[in-house]
Structure formats: C-alpha cells, structure tokens
Structure 1
Amino acid sequence: MKTINLAEKLALFDSHWDPKVVADYNDNDIMVVKFQGEFPFHLHEDTDDFFLVLEGEMLMDIKGEASHPVSAGELFVVPKGITHRPRAAQECKVLLIEPKGEPNSGDPTTAAAKNRI
C-alpha cells in the first residue's frame, strides 16, 4: 500500500496513446496516458471502457452520435460493444481503468503494450 502521485507518473513520459500502468485494482490495470490527435475507432466486446480526464479536454466519438466533450474532472464510460474513439486537439492527460490483458485497441494485434511505471 502506498500513495501514487499521478502528476509525477505523467511527467515520466512524453509519448501519446501509450498507457502506463500505475496500480492494480482487483483484476484491473489503473493507467495514465496522454492523448493528442485521434485514436482509431474500435470497440471492446466484453468490457466497458473507463476514461477520467485529469488535465485538458478530449472528445469521445461514438459511431452514429455527436461527439461528447469530456473536460478535466469529468469521466466517460463507453459500454461494451460500442464503437468509439477518443481524440484531443491539444494534449490531454487521462486515467484509464481496464481489465488486465484487455488490449487498448480492442484487438491484441494493434494494441499498445501496457508498461508499468
């Protein structure tokens, strides 16, 4: 048990769309990531997708719907099976919660590695 400073963890890397595991919670990875630009449309068949914006603003695009703006201090949950993509015009810092082993792209062949920092 220890305190984890998210700002310190986010300062350790500059890459975008590259989630870093900072803690474990039950069978989930707690991760921080920086977004800038667009992530490809994708879906997760078996799990919801959790996003908490720590700094900046992102847009969550849902196929067939208007974009949803998500600002610092707000969270957005995409239900399983829904095609979506996060995007950010300017760098945005986000906390993610995903089941261990869940690929961030929904597809293991295109997923970023989940490295621990």
Structure 2
Amino acid sequence: MAKAQSISIQEALNTLTFFSGRTPYSTDAETADAFSCLSEFQNGGLYVGHYQGNSEWERHGYGDELVMVIDGQTTLFIWQDDHETAHTLTAGSLIVVPQGLWHRFETPEEVKILTITPQPTDHQTEHP
C-alpha cells in the first residue's frame, strides 16, 4: 500500500523551468524540465507544467483526464462528434476531458497547469 503524502503544488511549480515556444513537434527531451510528475495516481499520475505554446493532439484510452490552470490561461480544444470545441481555461478553472477524446492546447502566453492524466497517452501531430 502506498504511503499518504502531502504535496505542495506551488513548490513543485517552483522547481520547473519555463518552456517557451512549445509546438506539436517539441520533443520530450526539450520539454522535460517544464513538466514534472508529482505522484502516481490510479492508472496514471498527477503532473504540473509551466510553458507557452501549442501541444500536439493527445488522448487517454484508460480514463478521463482532469486539467486545471493554476496561473495564466490556455485554450483546450476537444475533438468530439466530428467537430472541435474550444474551452478557455483561466487561473482556478478546470475541465474533465472524457476518456478517449482527442484534445490539444493553444497557449499564447505563459501558463502553469496541473493535470491528473491516465496512462498510456496517445499522441499525434495531425488533426484526428
């Protein structure tokens, strides 16, 4: 059985290096210092990130993903029923992305984000 532990989200964010210019083609190596796994959680993990830019498309086949903006703003695009819906998230707001739906982020300015993300995650640069 895992041991319960307290996690300071702010302290975790303070350890990250801001990554500017994220693109759908950014590699894990390029963005590694801008993201951190704080803890395992069910079939995935609790993550924080600090970046600016746009992500690739992703989806999670083994559960819903919770996305919360800690500071800044991002737009989360979800592909569902053959169309894309934009959800603007600002500090303190969150959204649950249903299992299996393709989604991506557009973040023109700096954002600090927290996610509970099931694994594995499928990624692609092309529109679904």
TM-score in terms of structure 2 length:
0.69
5+ residue gaps, structure 2, are 20-30
Question: Which residue does the alignment assign to 1:115?
Answer: none
Q: How many residues align?
A: 106
Question: Structure 2 matches for 1:44-59, cutoff 5 A?
Answer: 44-59=60-75
Write the distance in 2 (CA, Å) between the matches of 1:47 and 1:59.
21
TM-score in terms of structure 1 length:
0.75
The structure with more radius of gyration: 2
What is the CA-CA distance between 1:56 and the residue it aligns to? 0.7
What is the CA-CA distance between 1:24 and the residue it aligns to? 3.1
Write the distance in 2 (CA, Å) between the matches of 1:74 and 1:27.
24
Q: Is the 8 A contact 2:70 2:113 kept in 1?
A: yes
Q: Deviations over 1:26-84 (max 9, x none)?
A: 44411111231100122223322210111111100123233110111111111122121
Q: Quick one: which amino acid aligns to residue 93 of structure 1?
A: K
Question: Which residue does the alignment assign to 2:38?
Answer: 22
- Structure (1/2) with the larger strand percentage: 2
5+ residue gaps, structure 1, are 111-117
RMSD of aligned residue pairs (Cα, Å): 2.4
